Structure 1
């Protein structure tokens, strides 16, 4: 090792091949999520996924070595996308507390429309059926919101006396509990209405100055 980083680029043909592989993997992930969300883990096979995406089963196994690996990838994507979404929201100029609110607004929309979000939530409920360890639920969300609430506290946006950690745990519990109830009762048809009610009560309690204004 000479300490120099390689600047060698891939041939154009190899770059194109890698890009196609990335796109194909994403297509397989989405197809699997649609099936897992609708049918559940036990009733979804790798052949089902292959049929859905119009590939051979061997081609699906090229991207995911097992159904367990596919389930893990779905759950990882279910949770892993949100830190980048939060950064994009912050880049638009919103403060930390408004960022939390907008982040959860987008998550509510994703739970209604995004099969990966829907499948990730269902797979967490079906953990006993899956012969592998899934990513631990809710922890990354709680960590992310704790950071944002701590920034809100420093900026004077968080109501005095509210712990950022407690706020994060409470909001995560309320949000994910709300979406689960909505899914159970209406298949998430009323999710935005339920989230609107939950959001208004939560953020009314969290924002600095609200208690004094309405005392």
Structure 2
């Protein structure tokens, strides 16, 4: 059992070190030697767990997908309406983009030619499915504007969030990604939520989350 635990920890350390390297330099320029230095693993240990750099990158993508499942699957208060729940998801995503190197690496890897297919099945699809389900619920409750399809709502929001994420990288400054993501959601809602919902939101704003719900 101790040997299995050591192997698990070694594998996890290699994946995290690889994520850090991929997030900084992308896939093609990433150095296996730098990954080994960061993980403090031997080359033999790395190739015991991963047959190639590509297999290692796919392990990072798989780990990121698991992170997204945890983010989107977090229990939200039943007192929140679908747009308020989506606001929490969006802020949680921004927090992970800022602090979680696995999520940062996934965002960098999926724009590489070797991993384009991951855009159709990977982490973005996981949170997008959650956004779509919440938009469907909003339509059923009558707070999504008549004539707006949940698929359109989700597609536009996803494009806005991706754009904000790329712009934050290009600007290379310590931006508040949560504020940018929140801004994107608010712009989309201003066009696609009902006037009645917008009037209520304008009066009370977003619900304040307690510390326990953020953990």
Instruction: Please state which band the TM-score falls in when normalised by the shorter chain.
Output: 0.7 to 0.9
Q: TM-score with structure 1 length normalisation?
A: 0.78
**2:118 aligns to what?**
135
Q: Kindly indicate whether residue 61 of structure 2 is the aligned counterpart of residue 75 of structure 1.
A: yes
Q: RMSD of the TM alignment (CA)? A: 2.6
TM-score for the superposition, normalised by structure 2: 0.78
The whole-number CA distance in structure 1 between the counterparts of 2:60 and 2:174 is 20
Partner of 1:43: 29
Q: Distance in 1 between matches of 2:134 and 2:198?
A: 21
Indicate yes or no: 2:131 matched with 1:124.
Answer: no
Look up the match of 1:10: none
CA shift in 2, pair 1:84/1:93, >3 Å: farther
Distance 1:198 1:25, change over 3 A: same
1:26 aligns with 2:9: no
Give the distance between the partners of 2:173 and 2:9, measured in 1 at CA. Answer: 30
Bigger Cα displacement from structure 2, 141-150 vs 46-55: 141-150
Residue in 1 that maps onto 2:75: 89
Counterpart for residue 200 of structure 1: 186
Q: Find the counterpart in structure 2 of residue 156 from structure 1.
A: 142
- By percentage of residues, which structure has more helix? 2
CA distance in 1, matches of 2:104, 2:134: 25
Q: Which residue of 2 aligns with 1:177?
A: 163
Shift in Å at residue 134 of structure 1? 4.8
- Residue of structure 2 in register with 1:5 after alignment: none
Check conservation: 2:87, 2:182, Cα contact below 8 A: no
Aligned length: 197
Query: Partner residue of 1:109?
Result: 95
For residues 3-45 of structure 1, the C-alpha deviation after alignment (integer angstroms, 9 at most, x for no partner) is xxxxxxxxxx3xx443443333222111111111112222222
Give how far 1:175 is off: 0.6
Structure 2 residues not aligned, in runs of 5+: 203-215
1:100-144 CA-to-partner distances (Å, cap 9, x unmatched) read 21111111111122111221111122x23x4x6651254343333
2:205 corresponding residue in structure 1: none
Question: How far off its partner does 1:54 sit?
Answer: 0.7
Distance in 1, Cα, partners of 2:41 & 2:179: 39
Q: Deviations over 1:49-77 (max 9, x none)?
A: 11111110111122222100111122233
